[in-house]
């Protein structure tokens, strides 16, 4: 079928070629023209209406990545062929003959990302990890993916639909943070605004209306503010453009939330930008000359000066920021940068190919190197830590500190002495006991500040601790601490294994996989490492292990048996004086002092008690724990009363439920939909066995508290075919 173009499409085609002629050299233009020819050849196999739709889509997306990303010809080629590849993956292998290998490789990686994409909030971290993995090969893939997501959001508008809501959540949690980290500030702002127009529609409309109401007043104010600046800058022979624009609605909303103020109280709703036409060799001096002009006319706030020209951000961003006050007390943010710096600020990492080799762009290579380094760490854990960094760094700042030798180190705001130590070397981090900052001794938790000179203090007896994870800020430190803790646990577990082997030999019990598995199942451990570790750290009484292998005639009260909560409550009262203090379980539950017992998996809302272990603090058990009877009768003096306080909103507890019912078609899918989609509950694992038309399934999931669990069970009982649901632990 011949490819037919309308007059409008022909004009768009010519306009696109003209744009490419202005942006790229002859070699780049050849690649783009060949890509267009390949597109036309393949579109000839589609229906006429589909031809026009895909052709328009391809040109619009390609034009967007040129104008808004400033991407190189290879990226434009991939964007042009993207809709074709999404429609028919079989065309990708055909590209190499006409266009070479690179466009095909980009499209393969893009399709890989798209196939892993999901709007389900429970899988966002996994999606992000795969995005980062793909980026480590060629960052153009991520740039095009971000552009395509924003392109689709523009097409769909702010209609309140299920698809748009999911797309807005995905953009806010994945693509906006990525756009920010890659320096795509304009795209990030628009993406955040569009997401907000759907997810917080009323607030968005209110702020937009107030901005519109104050538009005339704001434009008059900007004009009066700019006029004296323009005159004096011209007198200094500085050729520049001065722009005044309101900040994005989402940015204003974040300030309102962060500062707990109303719209009228946000003092910097707009920014003045001075863009200087300057040669590379004079850029820095020209920006500081402009800064001098601004501060001669208006009073600056010295606390608000940000110099990202002397030391650019890790994503290549360069600019001078200052905040000045005008007569009347109103504050105005002023950004000073050159034309080149502005293009990088607008187009971020995409402008790297154009300005490669210029100071400031080295930060991009450094940052990509750190991404690759993190991904090369053992297992997926390092990638997950990096993902958390990307999410948390959406609006974070950077600080710069010095080593004793004068080397400059860059960290996210909030980084501590321990982050610094691990950044130098793993051994230095694990043996760190503090630091000497600017000649003053400080602890490992001390937060670093700009310009600090840091010298690490070490001790041979120091080792990584679990609570260190609570205050380090970088993914590298988190990964290294977890690795050290894992290695320490393996050493302890090996010691515990030897203890158990000796005891088995004394008890005339064979130490083999079958008997060890029996102990693991009895105490409900995940594996032998956890069992052996708890033996080494005396969290398990070895006599209770011996009782597992005792004769059946042995008294029942020596075995781990479930009993009524009322009975345990009576025993608890007799074991503890009524006047004793109550252990309050709060948000410190993650620290080393407290631990939720694995044998019964208590969750917020359960009736619980505490048991003082010999070396690992207090373990929290449910009243109907299988081991409650034994703990109370044999170790009543080590039992304490306990109760929950209000759990933090983001706290989730693991709990297992057993479901039985009729093995109908789609029953598992229906159960999964209720859990993950209707109730937005994350599942850790699910296993289903079926026999003779019936099924039995065990599901481990994460809930807020007992009420949350009860609501989940009520909802599941309504699924057709389910006969019974009960909590297993």
Q: Where are the domains of the chain?
A: 7-195, 207-360, 483-549, 565-644, 653-727
CATH architecture of 207-360: 2-Layer Sandwich (3.30)
Residue 557 — pLDDT band, cuts 50, 70, 90?
very low
- Residue 304's CB: how many other CB atoms inside 10 A? 14
pLDDT at 151 over 90: yes
- Among 16-30, 223-237, 388-402, 448-462, the least confident range: 388-402
Fold match flag (207-360 vs 653-727): no
Which tokens in the block code for residue 697? 């399934």
Beta strands in 178-319 (DSSP E): 240-246, 270-276, 299-300, 306-307
Cα dihedral 280, 281, 285, 290 sign: negative
Question: What's residue 302's pLDDT?
Answer: 80
CATH topology of domain 653-727: Alpha-Beta Plaits (3.30.70)
Burial of 566 (0-12, 13-18, 19+ CB in 10 A): exposed
pLDDT at 192 over 80: yes
Question: What's residue 561's pLDDT?
Answer: 46
Nearest to 611 by CA among 643, 581, 637: 637
Q: What are phi and psi of 560, to 5 degrees?
A: -80, 100
* Local structure of residue 358 (DSSP, 8 states): S
pLDDT at 402 over 50: yes
* Local structure of residue 453 (DSSP, 8 states): B
Nearest to 538 by CA among 596, 600, 616, 467: 616
Question: What's residue 379's pLDDT?
Answer: 45
Nearest to 410 by CA among 341, 475, 363: 363
Nearest to 702 by CA among 644, 655, 647: 655
Question: What are 305-361's pLDDT values in tens digits?
Answer: 888 888 887 667 889 999 888 877 778 889 999 998 888 877 765 565 555 544 444
Range among 175-179, 392-396, 531-535, 684-688 rated most confident: 531-535
Burial of 641 (0-12, 13-18, 19+ CB in 10 A): middle
The residue assigned the tokens 């207090």 is 618
Residue 620 — pLDDT band, cuts 50, 70, 90?
confident
Whole-prediction pTM: 0.50
Question: What are 530-555's pLDDT values in tens digits?
Answer: 888 888 877 787 878 887 876 433 33
Question: What's residue 431's pLDDT?
Answer: 92
Cα(278)–Cα(652) distance, rounded to whole angstroms? Answer: 55
- Among 192-206, 340-354, 437-451, 659-673, the least confident range: 340-354
Could you tell me how far CA 102 lies from the centroid of its own chain? 30
Provide the CATH number for the domain formed by 7-195 in this structure: 1.10.3210.10
CA angle (615, 616, 621) in 5-degree steps: 125
Question: What are 695-718's pLDDT values in tens digits?
Answer: 788 888 888 888 888 888 888 888
Cα(681)–Cα(503) distance, rounded to whole angstroms? Answer: 43
């Amino acid at each position: 079928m011949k490819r037919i173009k309308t007059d409008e499409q022909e004009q768009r085609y010519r306009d696109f070629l003209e744009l490419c002629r202005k942006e790229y050299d002859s070699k780049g233009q050849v690649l783009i023209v060949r890509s267009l020819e390949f597109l036309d050849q393949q579109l000839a196999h589609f229906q006429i209406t589909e031809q026009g739709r895909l052709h328009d889509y391809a040109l619009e997306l390609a034009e967007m990545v040129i104008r808004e990303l400033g991407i190189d010809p290879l990226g434009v080629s991939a964007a042009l062929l993207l809709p074709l590849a999404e429609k028919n993956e079989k065309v990708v292998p055909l590209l190499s003959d006409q266009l070479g290998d690179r466009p095909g490789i980009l499209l393969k990686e893009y399709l890989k990302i798209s196939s892993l994409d999901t709007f389900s909030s429970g899988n966002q971290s996994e999606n992000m990890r795969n995005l980062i993995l793909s980026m480590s090969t060629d960052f153009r893939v991520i740039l095009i993916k971000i552009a395509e997501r924003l392109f689709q959001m523009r097409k769909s508008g702010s209609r309140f639909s299920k698809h748009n809501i999911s797309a807005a959540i995905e953009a806010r949690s994945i693509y906006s943070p990525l756009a920010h980290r890659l320096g795509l500030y304009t795209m990030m702002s628009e993406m955040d605004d569009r997401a907000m127009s759907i997810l917080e529609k009323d607030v968005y409309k209110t702020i937009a209306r107030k901005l519109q109401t104050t538009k005339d007043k704001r434009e008059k104010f900007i004009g009066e503010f700019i006029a004296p600046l323009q005159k004096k800058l011209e007198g200094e022979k500085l050729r520049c453009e001065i722009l005044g624009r309101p900040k994005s609605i989402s940015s204003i909303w974040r300030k309102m939330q962060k500062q707990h103020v109303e719209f009228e109280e946000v003092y910097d709703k707009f920014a003045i930008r001075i863009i200087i036409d300057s040669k590379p060799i004079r850029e820095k001096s020209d920006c500081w000359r402009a800064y001098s002009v601004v501060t001669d006319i208006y009073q600056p706030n010295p606390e608000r000066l940000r110099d990202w020209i002397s030391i650019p951000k890790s994503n290549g961003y360069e600019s001078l920021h200052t905040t000045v006050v005008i007569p009347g007390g109103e504050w105005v943010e002023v950004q000073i940068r050159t034309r080149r710096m502005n293009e990088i600020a607008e187009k971020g990492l995409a402008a790297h190919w154009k300005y490669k080799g210029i100071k400031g762009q080295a930060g991009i290579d450094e940052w990509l190197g750190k991404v690759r380094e993190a991904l090369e760490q053992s297992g997926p854990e390092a990638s997950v830590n990096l993902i958390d960094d990307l999410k948390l760094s959406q609006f974070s700042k950077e600080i710069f500190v010095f080593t004793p030798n004068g080397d400059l180190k860059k960290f996210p705001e909030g980084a501590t002495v321990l982050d610094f130590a691990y950044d130098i070397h793993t051994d230095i981090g694990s043996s760190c006991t503090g630091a000497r900052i600017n000649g003053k001794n400080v602890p490992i938790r001390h937060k670093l500040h700009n310009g600090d000179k840091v010298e690490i203090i070490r001790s041979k007896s120091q080792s990584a601790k679990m609570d260190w994870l609570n205050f380090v800020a970088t993914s590298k430190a988190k990964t290294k601490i977890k690795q050290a803790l894992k290695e320490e646990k393996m050493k302890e577990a090996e010691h515990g294994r030897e203890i158990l082997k000796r005891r088995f030999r004394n008890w005339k019990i064979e130490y083999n996989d079958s008997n060890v598995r029996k102990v693991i199942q009895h105490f409900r451990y995940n594996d032998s490492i956890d069992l052996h570790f708890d033996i080494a750290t005396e969290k398990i009484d070895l006599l209770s292990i011996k009782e597992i292998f005792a004769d059946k005639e042995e008294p029942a009260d020596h075995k781990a048996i479930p009993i009524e909560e009322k009975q345990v409550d009576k025993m608890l009262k007799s074991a503890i004086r009524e006047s004793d203090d109550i252990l309050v379980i709060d948000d410190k539950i993650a620290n080393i002092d407290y631990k939720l017992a694995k044998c019964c998996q208590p969750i917020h809302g359960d009736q619980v008690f505490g048991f003082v272990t010999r070396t690992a603090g207090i373990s929290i058990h449910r009243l109907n724990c299988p081991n409650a009877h034994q703990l109370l009768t044999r170790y009543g003096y080590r039992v304490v009363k306990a109760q929950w306080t209000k759990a933090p909103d983001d706290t989730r507890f693991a709990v297992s439920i057993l479901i039985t019912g009729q093995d109908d078609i789609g029953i598992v899918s229906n159960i999964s939909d209720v859990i993950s989609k209707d109730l937005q509950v994350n599942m850790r694992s699910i296993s289903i066995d079926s026999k003779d038309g019936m099924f039995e399934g065990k599901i481990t999931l994460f809930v807020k508290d007992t009420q949350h669990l009860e609501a989940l069970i009520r909802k599941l009982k309504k699924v057709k075919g389910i006969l019974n649901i009960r909590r297993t632990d």
